[in-house]
Copies of this chain bind each other. A is one copy, B any other.
Amino acid sequence: MNLGAQSSDDPAAQPLRSDAERNRARIVAAARTVFRRDGLNASMASVAREAGVGIATLFRRFPTKEELVAAVFADRMDAYVDAVGVALDDPDPWRGLAGFIETACAMQAADYGFADVLTMTFPTAKALEQRRDQAYEGVVQLIGRAKAAGRLREDFSPEDLVLVHMVTAGVVNATGDSAPDAWKRVVALMLQSFEAPARGPLPDSPEPRALYKAMLRAGQACSTSPEPGRKD
């Protein structure tokens, strides 16, 4: 794993000078802190300040924000993939799925940056997207099993998981520190209506393509503009 990454653990590209490696680590740590607190729209300058390095140093190491994001959230994505694994190990597929959703949303609530990451896509961040795909495959299996067990409504689609992440991101965004647990109620509510039997039909799930486009747009917006989301 971690095939083409240019991260510190990539032995391919010639190793950084020791001071550069030290600064790189500082930057990633600082970005972790800042993104967790302020979300992905935190400025590069604020990351540099937090890290105690010059702006140029930051940009030399991570020419695009996407690369920085990828480096920072690699481990969160690993945890996300692990959570899928744990869910798949659960003999009760419904409990597994529900637990996974709760865990994943808790990760969003604990890290505003990660909340954003799960609603965006970064095509150039290969390692990150590969992990996302890996998680996706697991989730598809999980969904299949939960439906087979008759515990998950038949019209649930993998896209619904993305919607759940968008919902959670929206709630934690809006409530912030003032009502830090509000998302739990919302997620519980959604889980109750995912459980079979369905209480009624639902409007169609968004097309995977359309949803991907939405996530893509959000990701691009985050690279350059001040605000992830729609804008002029």
Query: Which A residues form the contact surface with B (CB < 8 A)?
Result: 37-39, 41-42, 46, 112, 119, 160, 163, 166-171, 173-179, 181-182, 184-186, 188-190, 192-195, 198-200, 202-207, 210-211, 213-215, 217-218, 226-227, 229-232
**Contact partner, A207, options B179, B229, B231, Cβ 8 Å:** B179
Residue of B160, B186, B189, B214 touching A178 (CB-CB under 8 A): B214
**What are some 21 contacts across the A-B interface (CB < 8 A)?**
A37-B230, A39-B229, A41-B227, A119-B174, A163-B182, A173-B229, A173-B230, A174-B215, A175-B210, A175-B211, A176-B229, A177-B230, A179-B206, A179-B211, A185-B202, A185-B206, A188-B200, A189-B194, A192-B199, A193-B199, A226-B227
How many angstroms between the C-alpha atoms of A159 and B189 in the bound complex?
A: 14
A213 (CB) vs chain B CBs: closest residue: B178
Top 10 A-B residue pairs of the complex, sorted by shortest distance between their CB atoms = A170-B170, A179-B206, A178-B214, A193-B193, A166-B174, A184-B203, A178-B213, A179-B210, A192-B193, A192-B199
With the chains together, A69 CA to B210 CA distance in Å? Answer: 31
User: Which of B170, B177, B193, B203 touches A173 (beta carbons < 8 Å)?
Assistant: B170
What's the minimum C-beta distance from A230 to chain B, rounded to whole angstroms?
5
**Chain A at the B interface: mostly helix, strand, loop or mixed?**
helix
Q: A174 touching B170 by the CB < 8 A rule?
A: yes
Interchain CB contact under 8 A, B185 and A204: yes
A160, A181, A210, A230 — most chain B CB neighbours (10 Å): A230
Nearest CB on B from A155, distance (A) = 10
Q: What is the CA–CA distance of A174 and B193 in the complex, to the nearest angstrom? A: 22
User: Do B167 and A186 touch across chains, with their CB atoms under 8 A apart?
Assistant: yes
Among residues of B, the one whose C-beta sits closest to the C-beta of A157 is B185
From residue A215, how far is it (CB to closest CB) to chain B in Å? 8
Report Cα–Cα, A197/B195, bound state, in Å.
14
Flag if B190 contacts A190 (CB, 8 Å): yes
In the complex, the answer to whether B46 meets A174 with C-beta atoms within 8 Å is no
In angstroms, Cα B202 to Cα A188, docked, is 6
Tell whether, in the assembled complex, residue B171 and residue A185 are in contact, meaning their CB atoms are under 8 Å apart. no
